[in-house]
Structure 1
Amino acid sequence: MLQIKKTFKDKSPIIYVVGTPIGNLSDFSPRAVETLKTVTKIYCEDTRTSKKLLDHFQIKNHLVSLHKFNELEKVSELSFDLKQGKDVAIITDAGVPCVSDPGAKVLNCLMNSEINFAICPINCGPAFIHAQIMSGFEAKGLEFLGFLDKKPQQLKNQFLNLTNLTDKLVIFYESVHRIQTTINILSALFAKNCQVAVVREITKLNEEIIVGDLKEVSAYINSPEFVQKGEFCVVLDKNLQPQSNAATSVDYLKLLDELILQGVSRKEAVKEIAKKYGLNKNELYQKSLNFLAKT
């Protein structure tokens, strides 16, 4: 089911995932302190360890234990909080929740529920870690690709060469000018039920996350509702499966015909489809002429 969440513009409750200092308490940001002061309650790995952190920053709030042995048991309590419209926080003893530490299981369960809420990471390092947490996907590791190759064929090869990713997330950055093309390429290469999260404008006022299967997300990103502005980070869920060539590959010539029937010239139709799906414009044009000659 497609989910679109605007963290700071929706009125839905928020789960703040707050990274804590791994050693030096001075690394804790003012925003993290203020957040832990204002949420309804704080779910933490060890109440004794977290109390020391809270006492140091004069944070007086209710602590609830959330560790690897009771994580799934706490889903119902967190669900109740969110249904009541309460903002809560998740912290661990040191470092970032959901990255080796507890948190990912409970977020994954909640993301697959019908509860409307947002996930907001704070003090969690680089953008790709924020995106991983916001996706709600759960895996044992991740493959971070940075910015991808700009040439469509090399980009396709880069995706198809991903191996041994049975329980890994794939995360990469993408520009505003290429996000539609890249998602369309992914939709053409991988099974439509593969899950993907597209995160826009991380930590900014217009922060937004789009989560769903490739078919749903591709359709939304090619629709007028999609806001094509800002900086993007894409998260592909584990068990990414290439689609079979025989079954669901994109019929580019059919798409061309549909545009031509709408009054678009063949040249402009080829240009549009080639850009949308990262194809070679000249090759597509020649294939369309060859197909036309056979009909």
Structure 2
Amino acid sequence: MTSQTHGRLWVVATPIGNLDDFSPRAQETLKKVDVIAAEDTRHSGPLLARFGIGTRLVALHEHNERDEAERLVQRMREGVDVALISDAGTPLISDPGFRLVRAARAAGLTVSVVPGPCAAVAALSVAGLPSDRFVFEGFLPAKSGARRERLSTLADEPRTLVFYESSHRVRECLEDMVQAFGAERPAVLARELTKLFETVLDGTLADVVARVAADPNQERGEFVLIVAGRPEDEDARLAEGRRVFALLREELPPARAAKMAAAITGAPRKQLYEG
């Protein structure tokens, strides 16, 4: 695919699980380019070999991207075509690559995309939560204190929140979300999307935490966490819920009054009962 003119950078999506999602265009592009820049060549090598793609691989990851981007841009200036792939899904989405794309565009080179799977978008499409406006937060901090601090800054965000999380932190992360967003906030945990053990758990954050705690298998695999944004009218709804709760409490036990007030107004029952 080398030519006398400048080369091109192709940003190519690969499967997130099911290999049938590897599009014919993506396969053809990866066969024709001169070099494939992969996040982890040991991971991508077997996938490419399975589809008969023998193009030369080079590693491009968070530790070498700055230097490697300069080298690849120079190669493209000389006429070499380069494809960028990540370990799975669409490159740059919580993966390396933006420095390479930015450098290529700054050099006046053409950057083209071969779209395909993306775990965040796949999870949104099956979550049943508002997707007309959403915020992708990627991975939260690994340390609990920093994670809780970050979640606290998102508590009033009205748009749907999308997170990636690892298996050894998913339960702890969910518990932190209960504290930050409230137990009644709607949420979805999408696990192992497109793979054999795919599961999608939905309900309130409290529901999802309980289901994960009850089934150790739900802590295995790769995860997308989606949390509904705070309703823009939540303050008014809570105020109305408290008003109704106060009236009902004159005639009913507090727990019963809170349950009925929540059903009538849509305000969180726990906040009515505790507040």
Same fold? TM cut 0.5: no
Which structure shows the bigger proportion of residues in helix conformation?
A: 2
Higher relative contact order (CA 8 A, sep 6+): 1
TM range (shorter): 0.3 to 0.5
